[in-house]
Structure 1
Amino acid sequence: MMDWNGYRDQVLAGVGAIGKISPDTTRGYATLSNAGEKTGHLDKKTRELIAVACAVSLRCDGCITVHTKAAREAGASEDELTEALGVAIALNAGAGLVYSTRAMDAFGAAAEA
């Protein structure tokens, strides 16, 4: 499918290059990324599993490769990852259903025009 390890290295190098040009941008991103760790409400493994599920929903390969590695390093199992991905799959299907109601509404509005 993909050389995820090589791709992750490329993504991190690209982010580093952006950081050299615009350090405030990457510093701001890091602040957002690390904010949840300070509350202590969720452990690192849970946050990383959520991040992977969000990455799938956003279709961000860079996020997928970074956060799957972090989830593994935090002790996530394949079964836990699969369950988190199941949530992403269900929500994406749900979003498709909800947005389908918007399409039906727009279709009805077109008949009124």
Structure 2
Amino acid sequence: MTLMNDKVHAYKDQISQMENYLPSVVQSYHQFTGECFQAGQLDEKTKQLIALGIGLFANNEVCTFYHVQEARSKGASDQEIMETVAVAAAVGGGHALSQGVTRVQKVLS
């Protein structure tokens, strides 16, 4: 838990430092992401679970830690989080397989 919190806090500290150089960029990013994660047709928990799956697929450690925390804070259960992990694994495996059977077989033929 400490490693996770340390990495998320380090990211937040670095974003704050970046804001010293590019305040409008950082503020625009926060405004944009804040809007994206507001409840709409999808609730906030679902959006956090989607973000977690994308973070896993992208191999982004900080986003993975952050979105697990956020999903929990929005009411996601451990089961829902682990199902998200499974879906991300299926997409990741499917991505490699689909590229293998299309691109690789095209080159081989």
Superposition TM-score, scaled by structure 1 size? 0.84
Query: Matches of 1:35 and 1:50 in 2, distance apart?
Result: 15
Residue 105 of structure 1 corresponds to 106
- What CA distance in whole angstroms lies between the structure 1 residues aligned with 2:105 and 2:2? 38
Q: Secondary structure at the match of 1:59?
A: coil
TM-aligned CA deviation for residue 44 of structure 1: 0.9
Q: RMSD in angstroms over aligned alpha carbons?
A: 1.9
Residue identity matched to 1:52: L
Post-superposition offset of 1:29: 1.9
Q: 1:7 to 1:37 in 2, by over 3 A?
A: closer
Identity of aligned residues (%): 26
C-alpha distance 79-39 of structure 1, shift in aligned 2 (>3 A)? closer
> How far did 1:28 drift?
2.7
What's the CA shift for 1:96? 0.4
1:55 aligns with 2:63: no
Residue-pair matches, total: 108
Task: Check 1:12–1:76 CA distance in 2 against 1; reply closer, same or farther (3 A cut).
Answer: same
- Mapping 1:67-106, distance limit 5 Å: 67-100=67-100, 101-106=102-107
Q: Which runs of 5+ in 2 are unaligned?
A: none
Output the TM-score relative to the length of structure 2: 0.87
How far did 1:72 drift? Answer: 1.0
Greater C-alpha Rg: 1
Give 1:38 deviation, angstroms: 4.8
Amino acid of the structure 2 residue aligned with 1:104: Q
Q: Which runs of at least 4 in structure 1 moved beyond 6 Å after TM superposition?
A: none
Change beyond 3 A, Cα 1:59–1:87? same
CA shift, 1:42, in A, is: 1.1
1:6 alignment partner in structure 2: 6
Over 3 Å counting, the alpha-carbon distance change for 1:17 and 1:107 in structure 2 is farther
CA distance in 1, matches of 2:99, 2:72: 34
Cα drift, residue 21 of structure 1: 1.0
Task: Label 1:5 to 1:28 Cα distance change in 2 as closer, same or farther (>3 A).
Answer: same
Unaligned runs of 5+ in 1: 109-113
